Amino acid sequence: MVDIDAAIGYVVAHGDPVERARLSYLRTGQPASPEIIDRLSDGQMAAGGWPASADGQVPSIDATCFRLSELDDLGGLQAGPVAERALQWLADAQRSDGTWQEHESLAGEAPAWAMPGDPEATLYLTSVAGFWLTAAAVEIDPYQTRGRYADVLARAAGFVASQLRPDGSWPSFLAAGWHAIGLLHQQQYFYESSRVQIVLGERLSEMAPADAAAMAAALRRVNLGDDWLLRNARKRLAETQRPDGGWDSNEGPIFDVNITLTALRACR
């Protein structure tokens, strides 16, 4: 089993004020203070998104989705104008074919998973943007009866479903898979969502701890329940937890606290 107390201790010892506030919310459900939300909102552009870098002049799909994930860990996905403006910008940034792409001006600095015009990046960003809009809609109404972002999500799910191969795999990055599951499931593409889950289950034994944590947290977030894939992902996290209570990130030690918080969100 995952050593929850050791993971909590690792975040307390190594986390910054925002990360410790995220831990507090995960443990007690206490929303973050306005000061912490303000700290996270620093850099938010007038349109509602965040730039890819501190001096960026164009809002980024990838950066905005990352900020939404941080706000979600603080109970702030539906709390106030910061998240509302970000979500609305994200919805408005959808292209006519149901996809999301970064602005072409970001091509010189974009990582592979966010490269403007690249088909793999397009599928990844569409899955991630669709996931966070789904999470926001579920927050208001778990059964989606009020249909917030209904048209946006329907177009996104239709595109993602059209990209799946006959065996359930997808022509994009691994993380596109677990973000696509929530989007597809909530849009009633149950068969397609299940096929993606089977593929991820087959790859789980070789997943990095950060990927297992992110996948499990995503499955929890959009009410897929305590299914076989989530249970097995938690087993993978138990196998890969370090003696100090943390987990290794894919981007180096500076992000180890973030991925440890993600693992706690998956196991809470």
Domain count, the chain: 1
* 9 contacts 245 by C-beta, under 8 angstroms: yes
* 176 contacts 124 by C-beta, under 8 angstroms: yes
What pTM does this model have? 0.91
- Which of 43-47, 169-173, 243-247 comes out lowest in average pLDDT? 43-47
Q: How far apart are the first and last CA of the chain?
A: 12
Q: Does the pLDDT at position 166 exceed 90?
A: yes
**Residue 226: per-residue pLDDT:** 57
Average pLDDT estimate for 177-188? 94
Q: How far apart are CA 129 and CA 135, in angstroms?
A: 10
Segments forming the whole domain that contains residue 150 = 4-267
Q: Residue 224, Cβ neighbours under 10 Å: how many?
A: 18
Q: How far apart are CA 214 and CA 102, in angstroms?
A: 22
pLDDT in tens, 14-67: 999 989 999 999 998 887 788 888 887 888 999 999 999 888 899 999 999 999
**Residue 51: per-residue pLDDT:** 95
Q: How far apart are CA 253 and CA 268, in angstroms?
A: 23
Q: How far apart are CA 254 and CA 129, in angstroms?
A: 25
**pLDDT category, 77, cuts 50, 70, 90?**
confident
3-state class (DSSP) for residue 62: helix
Task: Please give the structure tokens belonging to residue 17.
Answer: 């004020």
DSSP 63: H
**Residue 155: per-residue pLDDT:** 97
CATH number of the domain enclosing 243: 1.50.10.20
**Residue 145: per-residue pLDDT:** 45
Q: How far apart are CA 248 and CA 239, in angstroms?
A: 12
Residue type, 234: R
pLDDT in tens, 194-236: 999 999 999 999 999 999 999 999 988 887 755 889 999 999 9
What value does the mean pLDDT of the chain take? Answer: 91
Tokens 């690792």, residue? 10
pLDDT in tens, 106-146: 999 899 999 999 999 999 999 999 999 999 888 766 555 45
